[in-house]
């Protein structure tokens, strides 16, 4: 009887530990990031350091906790981080690369993942030693590698949360600002904010600027009231996407320095917008094209596609997206009717 009691206690303790570990796994890390390090342009046979860098970045992004929120496995934010290595100074462990960061968001009642961010850092300089463990403290600047990656992750978190609930991204943008200010104090010029610039300092300054409120409205409206509505009401969804585009026009009028935010929006959304308005219920294409040409003239070659009309069979918007559980559970306090 004593043996049985001890066995039951042991089993209870075992299952408690097991459920605790599973709970961490179920409600743990926020990102599911695919990392690529392309060093094909670097001469030399020993490229193990770049394989080591890839593993270190995957572990850094995918195993660290970046928020106090609970993320289920299917709620993790999918992202791509691509480093195109341009030069490598073996003696000083110095690497220069082009950084490409993309994050995605699921669409309501759909298996479609919309591109939420498509950021490029053309001149990313950092040091890295093979097998180096990447450590990060949000309150201090340690190195340019971890600070830059963490900065973009918080920018992604801010956009992701904001696409589900208006203004829900601000805490993450504020965390990115802390990283930016600490890095700028270290003397790295690339972190400084320059009026009308396109650096990390300029980006976070714009995101937290009260005059950029229409950018945040555009992000929320485009996704929550545009894409998320299209499965049930394609016409309403398209109408709300037009509303989001109109918010960007208001942003342009209200904030003269907001051209960088508008560029970021269309760098992610230009292809998708073309596909949306080439399909389904008819809308005033001349009005939309004129708006788009005014906001993003660098994509004029794409906007001209809209005037041609016609359906494309490979568009995810032909008949509305297929079914999927609602991804917005990431925000349990989200008001479904909030607009």
Q: Please, are residues 219 and 162 in contact by the beta-carbon 8 Å criterion?
A: yes
What is the rounded distance in angstroms from the CA atom of residue 97 to the CA atom of residue 83?
Answer: 6
What is the pLDDT, as a whole number, of residue 139?
Answer: 87
Residue 19: how many CB atoms within 10 A of its CB? 11
What is the rounded distance in angstroms from the CA atom of residue 327 to the CA atom of residue 247?
Answer: 25
Question: What are 31's strand-pairing partners?
Answer: 77
What is the pLDDT, as a whole number, of residue 309?
Answer: 53
pLDDT in tens, the chain (339 residues): 554 444 444 444 443 333 333 443 444 589 999 999 999 999 876 789 999 999 999 999 999 999 999 888 888 999 999 999 999 999 999 999 999 999 999 999 989 999 999 999 999 999 999 999 999 998 899 999 999 999 999 999 999 999 999 999 999 999 999 999 999 998 888 899 887 788 999 999 999 999 999 999 999 999 999 999 999 999 999 999 999 999 999 999 999 889 999 999 999 999 999 999 987 788 899 999 999 999 999 999 999 988 775 444 444 444 333 333 333 434 333 333 353
What is the pLDDT, as a whole number, of residue 16?
Answer: 38
What is the pLDDT, as a whole number, of residue 46?
Answer: 76
Contacts of 10 by beta carbon, 8 Å cutoff, 6+ apart: none
Q: Please give the structure tokens belonging to residue 297.
A: 């003239």
What is the pLDDT, as a whole number, of residue 194?
Answer: 83
Q: Please give the structure tokens belonging to residue 22.
A: 């599973």
Between the CA of residue 29 and those of 58, 59, 152, 171, 174, what are the distances in Å?
12, 11, 16, 18, 20
Q: pTM to 2 decimals? A: 0.85
Q: Please give the structure tokens belonging to residue 267.
A: 């760098």
Q: Please give the structure tokens belonging to residue 289.
A: 């094209």
Quick: pLDDT tens for 271-296.
999 999 987 788 899 999 999 999 99
What does DSSP say about strands 31-38 and 94-106: parallel, antiparallel, or unpaired?
Answer: unpaired
Helix (H, G, I), strand (E, B) or coil at 282: coil
What is the pLDDT, as a whole number, of residue 312?
Answer: 42
Residue 244: how many CB atoms within 10 A of its CB? 23
């Amino acid at each position: 009887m004593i043996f049985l009691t001890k066995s039951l206690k042991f089993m209870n303790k075992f299952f408690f530990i097991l459920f605790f570990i599973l709970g961490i796994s179920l409600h743990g890390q926020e990102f599911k990031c695919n990392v690529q390090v392309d060093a094909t342009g670097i001469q030399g046979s020993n490229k193990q350091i770049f394989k080591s860098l890839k593993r270190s970045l995957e572990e850094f992004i995918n195993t660290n906790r970046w928020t106090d929120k609970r993320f289920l496995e299917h709620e993790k934010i999918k992202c791509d981080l691509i480093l195109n290595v341009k030069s490598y100074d073996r003696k000083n462990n110095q690497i220069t690369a082009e950084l490409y960061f993309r994050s995605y968001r699921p669409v309501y009642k759909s298996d479609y993942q919309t591109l939420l961010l498509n950021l490029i850092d053309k001149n990313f300089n950092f040091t890295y030693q093979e097998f180096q463990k990447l450590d990060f403290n949000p309150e201090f600047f340690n190195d340019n590698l971890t600070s830059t990656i963490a900065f973009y992750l918080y920018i992604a978190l801010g956009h992701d949360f904001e696409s589900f609930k208006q203004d829900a991204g601000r805490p993450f943008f504020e965390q990115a600002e802390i990283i930016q200010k600490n890095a700028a104090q270290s003397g790295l010029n690339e972190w400084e904010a320059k009026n009308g610039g396109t650096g990390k300092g300029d980006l976070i300054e714009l995101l937290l600027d009260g005059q950029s409120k229409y950018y945040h409205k555009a992000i929320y409206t485009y996704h929550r009231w545009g894409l998320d509505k299209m499965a049930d009401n394609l016409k309403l969804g398209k109408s709300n996407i037009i509303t989001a585009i109109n918010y960007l026009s208001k942003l342009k009028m209200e904030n003269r320095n907001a051209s960088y935010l508008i560029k970021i929006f269309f760098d992610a959304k230009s292809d998708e917008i073309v596909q949306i308005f080439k399909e389904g219920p008819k809308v005033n294409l001349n009005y939309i094209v004129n708006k788009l040409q005014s906001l993003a003239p660098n994509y004029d070659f794409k906007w001209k596609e809209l005037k041609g009309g016609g359906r494309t069979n490979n568009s995810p918007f032909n008949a509305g997206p297929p079914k999927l559980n609602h991804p917005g559970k990431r925000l349990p306090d989200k008001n479904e009717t909030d607009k």
